[in-house]
A and B are shown apart, each in its own frame.
Chain A
Amino acid sequence: MIRYLSSRLFVFIIAFFLLTVFTFSLNFFFPGDPVTNMTGVRTFSDYYPVISEIRGADKNIAFQYINYMQNLLSGNWGASLSSGDYVFEHTYQHLFASLELIVGALVLAVLIGVLSGIFAATQFRGPIDKGVISLAMAGYSIPVFWLAQLLILFFAVKLDWLPITGQINPLYGIAPQSGSILIDIVISDSDYKAAALQDALNHLILPVIILSIMPMMLLLRLMRNATQEMLQKPYVKAARARGLNEFQVLIKHAVPNATQSVLQQVPLIFSLLLSNSIVIESIFNWPGIGNWLVRAIFERDFPVIQACVLIIALTILLFNLVVDLYRGWRFPIVRQE
């Protein structure tokens, strides 16, 4: 396990290093002055000579990179070019807002996708299996932005069951603190906590469902194929012959082994989820990292673009690491590979 752990950590550190090299070099590739791109301090500002001195603009590139890393790790991510706010504080607020959507979508996708995938595998080649798989194909092929518009039109505009955009009705006056609206409501001193919570959940339903559909369908197909494959394995047949019933065979042997192979694909699904969340956040005007990134790109707000790229990539890397470590811990055969 130690060997496996250290090899995974090593890969993570290398990837993180390459990522920071990339974001660091972005400062030079973006138009304009590199120090401005890094810190958000404009060349005509009074602070510029001081900042330029600190950042070592006249020193060599290695020194600048180390300086950049020191600032990065101490949370000094510069200021937004358009609003002048400190980027770091806003980054984690936006990240939490995004994670609210992403975690919700992931949980929903895993719950429904995995369970119906297992169910479809038990009905292999039967009418139910075929129906579920065709549905998964259809669900997977529908573009997210189009589906989002469609569902908004139907549930929000026509039926008027759910709100169209946003995190919460601004009339509740919940001050943004952590970024995650649910946490904000709980820690706020509002008199209408229950109602606000209800409203926030209503706002969550549509984006979470739309965001979860693609990973859900992917997981469904992967899980169905893997479980089906495991059900053909000799040890499953042997377990059946030993007198275990179909449910025990499924829970004890087929599903754990199928999970082992599907888990390998989960980080890919997660990165797909993250990129879809950028689209969904823009459509629902959700104050998440994706929405922020798109706005920053329009505004040429280079420090913010950098921060968004960094944090999205870092989230994916961390998720990858966690999944890898879980696989290694739960399924020791993985460590042999």
Chain B
Amino acid sequence: MQLLDIRNLTVEMKTPHGIVRVLDKVNLQLGKGEIHSLVGESGSGKSLLAKAIVGFTNPNWEVTADRLWWNGQDLLAMNTKQRRAVTGRDMAMIFQDPYSYLDPNSTVEQQIVEAIPEGDVRGTFMRRRVDRKTRVKRLLHRVGIRDHESVIDSYPFELSQGVAQKVSIAIAIAHRPRLLIADEPTTAMEPSTKLQIHRLLARLAASQEMSVLLISQDLTSILPETKQLTLLYCGQLMETGPAEEVINHPAHPYTDSMLRMSLQTQQELPHKARLPTLPGAIPTLRHMPIGCRLGPRCPYAQKQCVKAPLATQKQQRVFHCHFPLLELES
């Protein structure tokens, strides 16, 4: 059984210009201890999807789904309190800017202690204090901060970006969640710090049996250990499947263009060559194309693309396109 099972998740936002469908029938499955990468450009609704999963929603969002199951429980059928209990126990989230997600006026220790479940520490008052402190140190070691002495009493603004992100990971894993959602955790970080955070996430996923949903903007910053890969564009699911297959044999024109973009950063282009980007720009929320939202920018688009393509399944892969780049004879 899948740990997280999402079918046809739709999020609609009420804006002054009418209702905007920011996530359109998105499917996502996530197994135990699996690393799943969610890739999409800005405005693709990838963060929104994460927020919908943990219930981090605003009152003017309407979240509907045929299925939003966590470990066999229907999250949408729960009330806010029950849902907070479930998500607070089983899920954790880290974000792009660690500083704004850490309280500037509490020390690292206070913030990690707060995340350690009460049930974990037992005994008398003093015993519990000592116990908490050792747990904090152990958590800091686990996220790769060896020099805990200098970090433990620091305030977030005294830490470097990488260390701050590690601290927020320590907070996230303090209650041993079964799912860690990492929302662009390494954007705007130095390459070496980025690599450290990525390795840390992969190690945690392997050693703690923790699933990781890694959200990133492009294919260059996904983990090599990624098992499943999902691409979103403007709230629509483009393609999903085992990462290796998707990358080696893209079925969707969008995946193909994203791949070219990421390859282009690694190899040199001839002088004055055109960048292999899709024509046009990402549409604004108010001007979403009908049908396949990639349509106006897609080099393969034809008349049919004004109707949203149905899902095509090929073995473990699913893609939404009228004109896939794969041969479908099998």
Contacts and interface: CB of A to CB of B under 8 A. Distances in A.
Interface of A: 233-235, 237-244, 252-253, 256-257, 260, 331-333, 336
List the 6 closest A-B pairs by CB distance, nearest first: A243-B88, A234-B100, A235-B103, A238-B101, A234-B101, A333-B104
Contact of A253 (B84, B87, B97, B106): B106
Contacts of A238: 93, 95, 101
Contacts of B155: 332-333
Given A238-B95, A241-B88, 17 more contacts: A233-B100, A234-B101, A237-B56, A239-B103, A241-B54, A241-B56, A241-B84, A242-B92, A242-B115, A243-B84, A243-B175, A252-B106, A252-B114, A253-B103, A253-B106, A332-B105, A333-B104
Interface centre among A238, A240, A243, by most B CB within 10 Å?
A238
B165 to A, nearest CB: 13
Contacts of A332: 105, 155, 158
Nearest to A256: B105
B102 interface: yes
A316 B114 CA distance: 39
DSSP class of A's interface residues: helix, strand, loop or mixed? helix
A336 B101 contact: no
A219 to B, nearest CB: 19
Contacts of A252: 103, 106, 114
B157 interface: yes
B106 A256 contact: yes
Task: Give the size category of B's interface with A.
Answer: 20 to 34
Interface of B: 54-56, 84-85, 87-89, 92-93, 95, 97, 100-106, 114-115, 155, 157-158, 171, 175
A260 B88 contact: no
A260 B54 CA distance: 30
20 contacts: A234-B95, A234-B100, A235-B100, A235-B103, A237-B56, A239-B114, A240-B84, A241-B55, A241-B93, A242-B114, A242-B175, A243-B84, A244-B114, A252-B103, A253-B103, A331-B105, A332-B155, A333-B104, A333-B155, A336-B157
Contacts of B93: 238, 241
Contacts of B89: 243
A232 to B, nearest CB: 11
A235 B102 contact: yes
Contacts of B114: 239, 242, 244, 252
Contacts of B54: 241
Nearest to A332: B155
A329 to B, nearest CB: 12
A257 to B, nearest CB: 5
Contacts of A240: 84
Contacts of A256: 103, 105-106
Nearest to B84: A243
